[in-house]
Amino acid sequence: MQMGPAQHNYHQKSISLISSDGIEKVVPFEITNMCRKIPQNIQTTPEGKLMMHTDVKALHLSIIVSYCQMKFFNKNNSGIPFPLSCNKLVDNMINAEECNLIQDYLEDFDQLKELMKTGKSLGCEPFYQLAAAAIASWFRRRSIRDVINELSMD
């Protein structure tokens, strides 16, 4: 099946995002309001279906899609104050519900890095800022020895 760049046939209501692990997630087209890099990379199949292959794992793609849906596909800034005023991410949040999306990953530095890369890769600035704040919070709660151990270059 041959695909070419999208002809900007954006009257369609959905886009198929394909994760790096081959999982397809059909999302509302409005996601492009928050994920600014998607429109640049959309392709159209011969059948007229809009799709984009991402370098993002399905898990992380699901999280960012949930984030965008939570914000009704209309948020341009996280509203998180930088630098963080508190050690715990949730204490810095205007809306703690956003923090709940990534709650399971707040102690997993590698997952936080992947979430930040996901935000950057898709051009979703508010999610990128949320992940950056989570990483900043992660560092604020660690000793120097903890950071050295976590980031050791073995």
Please give the DSSP secondary-structure letter assigned to residue 106: T
The per-residue pLDDT for range 7-22, each reduced to its tens digit, is 444 556 899 999 999 9
Q: What is the dihedral of CA 8, 33, 31, 73, to 10 degrees?
A: -150
**Helix, strand, coil % in the chain, rounded to nearest 5:** 45, 10, 40
Contact 90, 99 (CB under 8 A): yes
Topology adopted by domain 4-150: Potassium Channel Kv1.1; Chain A (3.30.710)
The pTM of the full predicted model, rounded to 2 decimals, is 0.82
Both tokens of 47, joined, read: 């059948």
The per-residue pLDDT for range 103-151, each reduced to its tens digit, is 899 889 899 999 999 999 999 999 999 999 999 888 888 788 887 887 7
